[in-house]
Amino acid sequence: MLTCPYYFAMRTPMTKTTRQALAEMRADRKKRQEARNAELDRQDREAAERLHSIKPPPLFSEVAVDGACPKCRGRQFRSQEGVSALGAFLVGGVVGAVVAAAANSNEGIECLTCGERFSKG
């Protein structure tokens, strides 16, 4: 069939309406892509603003000078590093516990009465 000299002449030529329809489809796809990109950019900006407004918890040594929670006056606190060190020991043995303890040395302290969190300090 490729050897026929009339093969290329027998194809149906692309009409103007087909070209217009394809151009409209491309324009619609481009609009949808631009709208999707604009929405993603908006979500990224909002997420960045939310992350920027997060404040670290206050230092325990500055807030609870007398050893009591400033919010509820409770005196029972829990440190989170013991739980993660135990999990690291179960998973990675002694080396895992040492690495987890070193990595979690800046973890917080939580009041058992009200749940308020403080940074170690």
What local confidence, expressed as pLDDT, does residue 81 receive?
63
Question: What pTM does this model have?
Answer: 0.37
Which range, 1-10, 43-52, 76-85, has the best average confidence (pLDDT)? 43-52
What local confidence, expressed as pLDDT, does residue 116 receive?
83
User: pLDDT class for 4, splitting at 50, 70, 90?
Assistant: low
Over the stretch 45-59, which tens digit does the pLDDT of each residue have? 998 888 888 777 777
CA dist., res. 84 & res. 90, Å (int)? 10
Residue ranges of the domains in the chain?
15-53, 60-119
Check pLDDT > 80 for residue 120: no
CA dist., res. 107 & res. 79, Å (int)? 8
Reduced 3-state DSSP string for the chain = CCCCCCHHHHCCCCCHHHHHHHHHHHHHHHHHHHHHHHHHHHHHHHHHHHHHHCCCCCEHHHHCCCCCCCCCCCCCEEECHHHHHHHHHHHHHHHHHHHHHHHCCCCEEEECCCCCEEECC
Q: Which two tokens stand for residue 57?
A: 């918890």
Mean per-residue pLDDT of the chain: 74
